[in-house]
Structure formats: C-alpha cells, structure tokens
Structure 1
Amino acid sequence: METPAIRVSIAPALTFERQMMRPVLCFAISVAAIGQSMAQEKPASPPWSAPATVETITEARKFTSGGVELGGTLYLPRSRKPVAAVVVTHSASSPLGDASLYTHLKVMLPAMGIAVFTYDRRGSGRSGTKTAGGDYTILADDAIAAVRSLKTDPRIDPRRIGSWGLSQGGWISPLAASRSPEIAFVIAVSAPVVTADVQMLFSSTNHLRANGHSQAEIDEMTATRKAVDAYMRGTGTREAAQALIDLARTRPWFKYTYMGETVRDRAVSGWRKEIENDPLRNLTGVKVPMLVLFGAHDAVVPVATSVERLKEIAPRMPKMKVHVVAGADHSMHMAADQSVTLDPRHDGTETADSAEYIAVLSSWLAALGLVGN
C-alpha cells in the first residue's frame, strides 16, 4: 500500500491540491454542519423523504480485554464487500463512546464506507468499574482487543482496521500500533509530543490566563504543579507538595489545574505512570501509515513544540504525515471564546466542526484506499 510522505504544514492553507480537495471539502462542510445533530436521537423520516445512498447499521458490541468486559457500539455502512474500520480511543474528558467528541466520526466515516467502533473506556459506562489507573499500556491493549474483536466480523476487512484517538487517545492509538501489527493505520489528533506534566503546565497556564487570572496566580499554580511533579519524579518530598496543594485548593483558580486535593503515594500514583510515558518513543515505534493532526489555536497542547519534535523524527518516519489545522482548538472546534472552551464545566461536550480537519482526514483515508464503494 503506497503512503504519502510526511508533510509538516502550519500555514492556514490546506495541504492538498485544490482540484483534489473540492469534493472532499464540500463533504467536510456538510459533515461539520450536521455533526451536532447526530448526538440527538434521529427523528422519524418525513413521508416525502427519499432513501439514503448509505445505510448505517448500528449494533451494540462487547469484547474482553485483560479479563474485563468492555461495551461499545459499531456503526457499520451496509455493503456487499468487507469494509475498513476505525477503533476510537478516548480523550481523558470523554470516556464514553457516545460522547459528542466522536459524533463527527459516526457521521462521516460510514458515509465514506468505513465502519466506526466506539466503546466506553474501562471503568466507565458499559465497561465495568475497574479503571486502568493511569497505565496507558492497559488502555492500548484494550484498543488492540477491540481491533481483534472486529477482525472476527466477516463484514469488516481484517487487513484494514486502524485507530483514531484525540488528546490522551492520541497517545493511546500510536502506543497500541507500536505493540501490535494488527493495527493497519493510526490517526492521532491533538496529542502532545511532550510528557504529561509539561502538557498540563501549559494547559493550566492557558486556562488561568483565559479566565482572567493574574501572572502572580499563574506563578503560584506553576510552583504547585512543579512541587507535585518533583515528588512524583523522586526529586521532591510529598510533604512539600501537599503543603502547596493545601494552599492552592482554597484558590479560585484551582479547578483549572485538574489536580486532586491529596497528593497520592508515588508508589501507587496513576499520575506518576502518566508523566513517565514518553509519547515520542511510542510514535517512533509505529511502522504503519500515521496521520498526526493539531489545531493551530489549541490552548491545551504545546503544538509548536510538538511539531518541532516531530520534525526531528520525520526522516525516520516516511509513513507519517503531520498537519496543523488553521483556527481549530483542542477538539478540532472552530472556537471563538476560550473562556468558554477552557471552562471545566464544558468538559465532555466538545465537538469537532473544522471543515479543514475533516477534509484532511477524509483525503488521507481515501489516499490509503480505505474508502468503500
């Protein structure tokens, strides 16, 4: 299978030839426009409606990973031939398969002749109560198990099953592909190419700034985060970290840090496991075609730093393509007010509506020969 060479693009213009992009962009705009409506139950068809070209079959499915039963939903285009499929891995704030963040995939991919499987992250919804405890390897193995479960379905082509993940999911999908040859392609969206502690300091700083907090408050938050991270890395004490947390939790900005009120023993802390994960190492282990997407206006992920790190490995990654989407935020939403999008009250309600993002994603999938008849 031929794959496009890497192209790092930060300019607002799309990275594909205009002639090739016209039909895809029209499709992308249509998907962006209707994406939110999919989150609600479909109304009954009016009596004058015509039959749709693509019929999507929706099925509840269960599979087992590491002794845990996980539940999800398969969105399958009706087809005479086996179709390609995408397994969705989760953003940290959207653990359920029916989250609005994944709605655009359920609309656009079946319309392209590609199945989508969304499942609830372990410990959430239909997937029991046992979490991964911050262990990305467990979450990656869950994605691999999901792929294996789809391979047994005769309606799905077992050679054309890949994974899409956003944010934390954009770490999980490449990690899964680096651990299993059964994943045929990877799409990593808004996944920082820095460790979790660096990413969260960047994110918390922007959360505070967007919500009107002073530089002095940002400095206090920074000192608190660094004290906790130092303890987790073995260079600081738990007592010093807890003392700063005790002060910080009384501050109005504390909710923007996504930190707990108690510093856990580093020996059992899920956060320690998270900050020890190097996403760049996982990316270099991917040998299949991989699309890496960022939003130019992402306030959660240090995009510029991430792109520079990807440039360093680009010569060794001929199957990787990198694209930065003009105007898009962390969820590939064309957001105008960051004080809203960076408000924790809106976590789990994000939607992707960037036409450029959908156009680039659609074209890349088509170039790989994954689009159905």
Structure 2
Amino acid sequence: MNKPASISKFLRTLTMAVLGFYGSGLPAAAQVVTPAWSAPASTTVVAEEREFQNGDVHLSGTLYLPGGPKPFPAVIALHSASSATRDLPLYQHLKDLLPALGYAVFIYDRRGSGKSTGKRAGTDFNTLADDGLAALRMLAADKRINAQKIGFWGLSQGGWLSVLAASRSRQVAFAISISAPLTTPDVQMNFAVGNILRVKGFPDEDIRAAISTRTAVDDFMRGRGDRPAVEQMLADAAKRPWFKYCYISPMLDDPAHSQWAKEITLDPITTLNRVHCPVLLLFGADDPWVPVRISAKLLSKMAGKKADLSYAVIAGANHEMATTVAPEKELDSSNATAFAPDAPAYFGILAKWLSQRGRRLTLH
C-alpha cells in the first residue's frame, strides 16, 4: 500500500503530543502533577457518569465532553474481547485525543463488567452491538451532542461490533474498525493459534495438528462432523503439550448452547456490505492475531465499490496499534489488557479521518 496522505501541521502536532504522553512509560494515572508554571490548556474536558438501558440490562459509562461550540459529534467505544471496562489502557487515547478534535467520547462498561449489569456469557454479537446502539440513542437525546454525527470506534472484536452496529441502524454516522479481520472468527483464531505456537517454538507438525483439531471443533459447531469422532480427537489433543495454547476446551460443547457457535456465524464481509455510512478500517502490519494480508486483499477489491470505505495497513504496528511490544508478550494472554496504541500513523490517520468524516480519503 502507498503511504497515507500527508497530515496537516495541526494534526501532526496533536499526534506528537499524544505520543509524548504515552511514550513516557508511565501509566495514565501517574500523569497528574501540574507544574507551577503551567499555562491554561486550549482543550478542556469534562467527564460525566452516564447510565442507559438495553432491555433489562443496566449499562454504565463515562461521557467525556470537550470545550467549544455545541453540539459535539461523538464517538462511542465498543469493546475488544479482553478490554471490558472503561478504565483500561486501550481506551485512554480516545479520552486524550478525540476531545482535542472537538469530539465527545463515551466509554461504557460491557454488560457483566464494571458497573454494568447482565452477563457476557451466552451473549451474541448482535446483542453487544445493540448495547452500543442503546448508547447512541441515549447520546442522541442529549442536546449537547449532534444526533446526526454519532459513530462507533472499536478494536479487535470491538471493530467487528462497530461495523455490525452500523449495519443495524441508519442512525450511525460512521464506524471505525481497528484490527478486526474480514475473515470469520474461526479463521482468525486458527491464524492466531498458529502464531502463538510458532513463537513458542513448536514445529510445523504440531501447528498443523492444533489447527486441524480446532477446525474439527468448529465444523462440529456448524453442524458438521461426528460427535464421538470429534470428542476422541479432542481427548487425544488434550494430551499434547500444545493443547493449552489452542483456546479450545477438552470438553465438546453443545452447539445449541455454545457462545462460540454463535460467534463464528459472523461474516464480516456481508456485514460490511450492509453498512451505509463512512467506514475506516485500520490494521497493524505486524499483527499476530489477525490475518491482515487476507483482509487487505479483500478490502482492495471492495474499495472501488464502496465510496465511503477507507483503510490502511500501518507499518510496524501490532494488534493494539503498538510498535514497542515483542510478539512473545503480545501473544501471552496474561498481558491481554496491558497494551495501548502508540503508533504515530494510527493517531494521525484516525485524527485526519475524523476531522474529514464523510469525505472520501485516499489512504491506500
């Protein structure tokens, strides 16, 4: 892909300011000391606790409002699989960067997490997307928010949800999908598991066996395959040293009650084709969790047919749009909530696209 179009001086300055914040190596909570010589900032942010309902589920979040003329456009953050609460590092850059662009930002706790009620287990993607749409309706009723300019941002699973929510309502003004592949979830996980095992030093023979086992389970979830045969395959695989890295249970679930069986029905391409608002999709070139090469090829074919579709693959960036994390650390599930974006191109493209939202951009 060609390099993205150059970013204005203002956006370059803004990007470097954000990079300086994250490049310090200190958590956001540590950045609280104000020097005696500090001048008043041009950008002020007011945080408000907000609550809303989706059916009988009570959801809680924080709305970050910039200064300046109202009403504000707004971005609603949807959750990655591992980052369920508003306080996690992944979302900090949205609070810091977007108000400087004049955007309100709303980040809420996913159902079953933080201050939100309900349960994540057994909940399908459509319901999670509808939680986001309930947040949109809540913001649209606020006179300080421009009801015609509310959109979604999400990373990984949240990227899928952003596009899915946009496909389910014409009220959505835009959708931003970060590190969410255009493959089905099972294809994505086979890619990720292969990389996990590769990084851990397993030979190709073991990687093929692991993916074969995962594929057999996925086929069974789709109604194909013989249960006793798949159960025996799982029992044999569970004895192998690679099995614990495969993200599958040694016990075969009932497809009728399996959350995974629901999730693998997601077809990102079909969903994207149903969207009628501007969409930005960004990928990290070095992402070990997502088959970026496949996704970029699919997008290159779609871009000419969808005038409001923009995408870019960012050199040196990983799944979280970070450039400073070794693959061994990124693929360690114990670090799942530890990382935040730091790629300069990510900040720049995101800021540029939002500042020109609704216009066709030449990003590829």
TM-score range, shorter chain: over 0.9
- How far apart, in 1, do the equivalents of 2:193 and 2:160 lie? 19
Name which of 337, 340, 356 aligns with 2:345.
Answer: 356
1:67 alignment partner, one of 47, 56, 64: 56
Match of 2:197 among 200, 205, 208: 208
Q: Report the counterpart of residue 225 of structure 1 in structure 2.
A: 214
Q: Which moved more, 1:270-279 or 1:243-252?
A: 243-252
Counterpart amino acid of residue 246 in structure 1? A
Q: Among the aligned pairs, what percent are the same residue?
A: 44
Cα 1:205/1:86, change in 2 over 3 Å: same
Match of 1:191 in 2: 180
Match of 1:3 in 2: none
Q: Which moved more, 1:162-171 or 1:218-227?
A: 218-227
Q: Residue 258 of structure 2 corresponds to which residue in structure 1?
A: 269
> Following the alignment from structure 1 to structure 2, what is the Cα–Cα distance between the partners of residues 97 and 255?
30
Ranked by relative contact order (alpha carbons within 8 Å, sequence separation 6 or more), the top structure is 1
Structure 1: 5+ residue runs without aligned partners? 1-9
Residue aligning to 2:18: 31
Question: Is 2:39 aligned against 1:50?
Answer: yes
TM-score computed with the length of structure 1 as normaliser: 0.91
For 2:268 and 2:358, locate their aligned partners in 1 and report how far apart those are by CA, in whole Å: 28
CA distance in 2, matches of 1:103, 1:247: 44
Aligned-residue offset at 1:250: 4.3
Q: Does 1:155 align with 2:144?
A: yes
**CA positional deviation for 1:25:** 2.5
Tell me, in whole angstroms, the C-alpha distance in 2 between the residues paired with 1:179 and 1:336.
35
Distance in 2 of aligned mates of 1:54 and 1:351 = 22
**Cα deviation, residue 29, structure 1:** 2.4
Tell which deviates more after alignment, 84-93 or 234-243. 234-243
**How far apart are the structure 2 equivalents of 1:75 and 1:62?**
14
Helix, strand or coil: the match of 1:267? helix
- Mapping of residues 114-153 of structure 1, within 5 Å: 114-131=103-120, 133-153=122-142
In structure 2, how many angstroms separate the alpha carbons of the residues matched to 1:164 and 1:158? 16
Paired with 2:239 and 2:29, the residues of 1 have a C-alpha distance of 38
- In structure 2, what is the equivalent of residue 102 of structure 1? 91
CA contact (8 A) 1:73 1:117 kept: yes
Unaligned runs of 5+ in 2: 360-364
Contact 1:25 1:356 in 2 (8 A): no
Contact kept in structure 2, 1:33 and 1:353, CA below 8 Å: no
Give aligned pairs, total: 357
Give me the whole-angstrom Cα distance separating, in 1, the residues matched to 2:98 and 2:244: 36
Aligned-CA RMSD value:
1.9
> Residue in 1 aligned with 2:362?
none
3-state SS, counterpart of residue 98 of structure 2: helix
Higher mean C-alpha deviation, range 239-248 or range 217-226: 239-248
Deviation at 1:325, TM superposition (A): 0.7
Aligned: 1:244 with 2:233: yes
Equivalents in 2 of 1:62, 1:238: separation in Å?
Answer: 45
TM-score (ref. length: structure 2): 0.93
Deviations 1:116-144 (A, max 9, x none): 11111112121124226251110111110
